[in-house]
Amino acid sequence: MNALQLRLQQRLQERRQQSLYRQRLTLSSPQGAEVQIGTERLLCFCSNDYLGLANHPQVITSLQENAARYGVGSGASHLVVGHSGPHQELEEALAEFTGRPRALLFSSGYMANIGIMAALLKRGDAVFEDRLNHASLLDGGLLSGARLQRFRHNDTDHLKQLLQQRADVEGKLVATDGVFSMDGDSAPLGELATVCAEQGALLVVDDAHGFGVLGANGAGSLEQAGLSAREVPVLMGTLGKALGTGGAFVAGDEDLIEGLIQFARSYIYTTAIPPALVAATLVSLELLTTEAWRRPHLQQLIARFRAGAEQLGLPLMDSQSPIQPLLVGDADAALRLSEKLRSDGVLVSAIRPPTVHAGTARLRITLSAAHNEDQVDRLLDALQRHA
């Protein structure tokens, strides 16, 4: 066996021994409040389908009709012959919805964040990131060639300190999640915007878990915080969470979008999202307005769950988002608790290192507008029995 293969085998064995080995579940049903895995019908609290749109009949109909019109695959990258009418429509709709001159579609949030960093940064620049940022932001910073420094979670004083230490650097970028994917809490975007303005840094917000959920109209964390495009020049959002489809977008001014088209390799050299899926996303975006009841219903479920968890004395982390992490600590204990809940008909993922820091393993409970109050109560009953 080759030395590299042997090393990989050893690393896999270590993961198994430390209760950190990841395994996939295979669904035989659509996303929803309940899912089918083999012969099991499970109440699901681990999907990012926050508004319950992934299986919405209007979204499905649009996908089917546009597959008949445009075919299945886009056939090429956007810059060759993969850019269709639905792509252009959705980009214009997202720009209008987010209050920015333009938007650009990417195949995933990961590709979008890598593309942002590649287009904006070069060797000799400095990028500053929250310690709990998503891996795509961190990897984007590392791959950009700029010097990456991480500030303490939501600590704007620490960020300011680091920026002042690099006052000699001309190109400075600060990146943060809007809502943090594993803790569920929000970034102090107003304070971050102020610090960036004072220190001459460009602020980038990854709003994958806020877009569609937060704000009066569902426009996300920036709308919730009352921030303008001038204060946060670069906004990234994903389409596979609250909107229930797939892909991502970056919204900003004319120069930003043109810069991404010219310099973001993860945009230039990637096949475009299938046009039928893009057309379905246009319907999802419209449903944010026409079925606006979904957001307040979701907030009611979050409040109900947190109140019930408090009565049970469960150690929930501080989150007002659909992400409600239950801190366990030990990775093996988190895995066992997840398995006990599953035996009770409730599916919740155990999140373990290296996704989270050692000693902070947790159950990542996520709520959806597809749930009802009885289902939330069933979750609480199961946690009372097993947690």
**pLDDT digit string, tens, across residues 39-61:** 999 999 999 999 999 999 999 99
Among 222, 373, 237, which residue's Cα sits nearest to residue 300?
373
Q: How far apart are CA 50 and CA 47, in angstroms?
A: 7
Q: Which of 209, 221, 319, 349 is catalytic?
A: 209
Question: Is 117 within 8 Å of 139 (Cβ atoms)?
Answer: no
Q: Is the pLDDT of residue 100 over 90?
A: yes
pLDDT tens digits for range 238-297: 999 999 999 999 999 999 999 999 999 999 999 999 999 999 999 999 999 999 999 999
Q: Is residue 209 annotated as part of the catalytic site, yes or no?
A: yes
Per the document, the length of the chain is 387
Q: Is residue 241 annotated as part of the catalytic site, yes or no?
A: yes
Question: Is 127 within 8 Å of 144 (Cβ atoms)?
Answer: yes
Q: How far apart are CA 109 and CA 93, in angstroms?
A: 18
Q: Is residue 172 annotated as part of the catalytic site, yes or no?
A: no
Q: Is the pLDDT of residue 353 over 90?
A: yes
Per the listing, tokens 């809007």 go with 178
Q: How far apart are CA 240 and CA 278, in angstroms?
A: 11
Confidence of residue 1 (pLDDT cuts 50, 70, 90): confident
Distances 379 to 33, 220, 338 between C-alpha atoms, Å: 12, 27, 12
Q: Is the pLDDT of residue 123 over 90?
A: yes
Per the listing, tokens 């920026």 go with 163
pLDDT tens digits for range 75-92: 999 999 999 999 999 999
Strand partners, 40: 37
Confidence of residue 319 (pLDDT cuts 50, 70, 90): very high
Q: Is the pLDDT of residue 228 over 90?
A: yes
Q: Which of 84, 181, 186, 221 is catalytic?
A: 181
Q: What is the overall mean pLDDT for the chain?
A: 97
Q: Which of 160, 241, 297, 371 is catalytic?
A: 241
Q: Are strands 361-366 and 349-351 parallel, antiparallel or unpaired?
A: antiparallel
